[in-house]
């Protein structure tokens, strides 16, 4: 490369590291995870980067880049920083349009020519600690990213140590250490500048600004590989939020959403329903936990029929504590409770916030019947159910704290519908995915549904195979969870099953 930064043998990038970005993404990694970028993606400073023809979501990510000095192999986190000789600025550019092509590995969406600008100056680390660095990014002169290395989830020394367990980090290798919040989309004509400095170190050394101008590409991708693909969720995630996307649309910088904001697509597609068919709530909750979602349980509720399952999008109803004047104003007529049951749509789950009070009824036979007639997928209340035996005769699944004979007006005032509620200790927003079985009920954020469903379905299949081996007499040590040997057997069994299925299909 130019500017005294040699072409590295390896460029290793961290997926998530800054707490500001982790909060934005909604998942908390326990350990760092990585992907590789090819040396051909490097770009000389002050250059241009092409947004390929037929794509729309090229995103910048200002980052602190570590350049390895003394080779590192099997070093400790305390030793890791001493193996970093220099620090420079980087822009980890990527195409959301191609994220699905190589999910996780990022080969195509992050590996394009010019997608790793680096420089312009590399700062020697001697006398400067790993927590002393700052990264800032400007787009068209506006500061959009500003964070410091002392906030990192995984400090620089830990990254070096972790990677050195698996490979020798050679002199000149580069580690891109993650981007803070503020990453967004850039369009042809935009100018991105990234600067890394150590503002409190002697002399306040700086890399200077790494300048990249976005230009429109002319070559479209051919039909012999994965084609660019964009949907509304990708647009919102790439721009940072629905509000930022809307601002970009108003400025003529972004493509409008395909579905109006007040008419969102139902994420519960037939494909995802099929994936989740027979999958246990416990399995899905484990997948959510891995992403940092631990308070998603609607605690204390049980189904009114043994074996009931529930899956649908949330429609919410909120009760507030009883007060005579408020009940007089809001408890009669076509109140919020009646409105909720009279307007629930097919496939929706009515979620009732009753503040966890079991000693009063929140649903009765007439309202439960009304929900069933309208095609509701179920009812969940962290309160009690009146006319319990009658409600039990209906087909609609109802999850509650149990029976109570009281009528409305003893402990509650029906207050509002279609708002964020707290049911059984879980936050529930309209449109969230509600899933329940005999183990309980959980809340799934819609943007996580597809990846969680896919992971849970795969885990359920693996768990079923493990159960088969245990039934045949295999010990659980090494099998649950599977070690490398058992994993290899499982993959071989899956491959054999798929081959047999294909052969049967061909012969039919």
Binding-site sequence positions for Mg(2+)? 387
State the Cα–Cα distance between residues 35 and 119, nearest whole angstrom.
20
Beta bridge partners of 51: 216
Measure the CA angle with vertex 295, ends 291 and 301; round to 5°: 130
Which CB contacts under 8 angstroms, 24+ apart, belong to 462-470? 462/490, 463/283, 465/490, 465/493, 465/494, 466/490
The residue with tokens 């230009």 is: 215
80 CB-side CA count, 13 A: 19
State the Cα–Cα distance between residues 234 and 238, nearest whole angstrom.
6
Q: Tell me the binding residues for substrate.
A: 364-367, 386
Cis preceding linkage at 197, omega within 30: no
State the Cα–Cα distance between residues 141 and 190, nearest whole angstrom.
10
State the Cα–Cα distance between residues 180 and 105, nearest whole angstrom.
20
The residue with tokens 């009812």 is: 379
Q: Give the other-Cβ count within 10 Å of 20's Cβ.
A: 15
The residue with tokens 């909750």 is: 285
Q: Tell me the binding residues.
A: 364-367, 386-387
């Amino acid at each position: 490369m130019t500017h005294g930064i040699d072409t590295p043998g390896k460029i290793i990038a961290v997926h998530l590291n800054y707490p500001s970005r982790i909060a934005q993404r909604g998942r908390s990694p326990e350990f760092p995870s990585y992907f590789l970028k090819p040396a051909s993606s490097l770009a000389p400073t002050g250059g241009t980067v092409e947004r390929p023809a037929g794509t729309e979501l090229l995103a910048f990510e200002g980052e602190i880049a570590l350049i390895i000095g003394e080779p590192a192999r099997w070093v400790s986190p305390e030793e890791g920083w001493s193996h970093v000789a220099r620090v420079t600025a980087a822009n980890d550019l990527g195409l959301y349009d191609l994220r699905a092509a190589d999910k996780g590995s990022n080969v195509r969406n992050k590996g394009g020519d010019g997608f790793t600008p680096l420089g312009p100056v590399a700062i020697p680390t001697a006398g400067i600690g790993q927590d002393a660095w700052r990264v800032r990014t400007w787009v068209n002169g506006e500061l959009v990213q500003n964070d410091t290395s002392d906030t990192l989830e995984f400090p620089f020394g830990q990254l070096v140590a972790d990677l050195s367990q698996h490979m020798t980090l050679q002199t000149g290798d580069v580690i891109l250490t993650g981007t803070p919040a503020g990453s967004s989309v850039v369009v042809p004509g935009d100018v991105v500048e990234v600067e890394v400095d150590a503002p409190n170190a002697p002399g306040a050394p700086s890399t200077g600004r790494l300048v990249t101008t976005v230009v429109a590409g002319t070559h479209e991708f051919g039909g012999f590989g994965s084609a660019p693909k964009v949907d509304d969720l990708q647009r919102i995630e790439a721009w940072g939020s629905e509000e930022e996307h809307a601002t970009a649309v108003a400025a003529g910088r972004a493509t409008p959403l395909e579905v109006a904001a007040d008419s969102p697509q139902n994420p519960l597609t037939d494909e995802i329903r099929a994936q989740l068919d027979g999958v246990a709530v416990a399995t899905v909750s484990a997948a959510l936990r891995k992403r940092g979602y631990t308070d998603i349980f609607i605690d204390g509720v049980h189904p009114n029929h043994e074996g009931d399952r529930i899956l649908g999008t949330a429609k919410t109803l909120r009760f507030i504590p009883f007060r005579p004047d408020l009940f007089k104003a809001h408890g009669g007529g076509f109140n919020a409770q009646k409105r909720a049951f009279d307007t629930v749509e097919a496939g929706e789950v009515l979620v009732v916030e009753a503040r966890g009070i079991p000693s009063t009824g929140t649903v009765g036979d007439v309202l439960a019947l009304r929900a069933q007639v309208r095609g509701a997928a179920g009812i969940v209340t962290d309160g009690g159910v009146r006319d319990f035996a009658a409600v039990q005769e209906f087909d609609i699944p109802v999850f509650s704290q149990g029976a109570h004979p009281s009528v409305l007006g003893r402990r509650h005032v029906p207050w509002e519908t279609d708002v964020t509620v707290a049911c059984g200790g879980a936050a529930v927003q309209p449109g969230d995915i509600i899933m329940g079985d005999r183990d309980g009920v959980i809340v799934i954020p819609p943007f996580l549904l597809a990846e969680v469903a896919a992971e849970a379905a795969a885990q359920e299949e693996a768990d079923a195979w493990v159960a088969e081996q245990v039934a045949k007499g295999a010990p659980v040590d090494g099998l649950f969870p599977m070690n490398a040997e058992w994993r290899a057997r499982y993959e071989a069994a899956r491959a054999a099953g798929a081959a047999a299925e294909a052969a049967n299909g061909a012969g039919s």
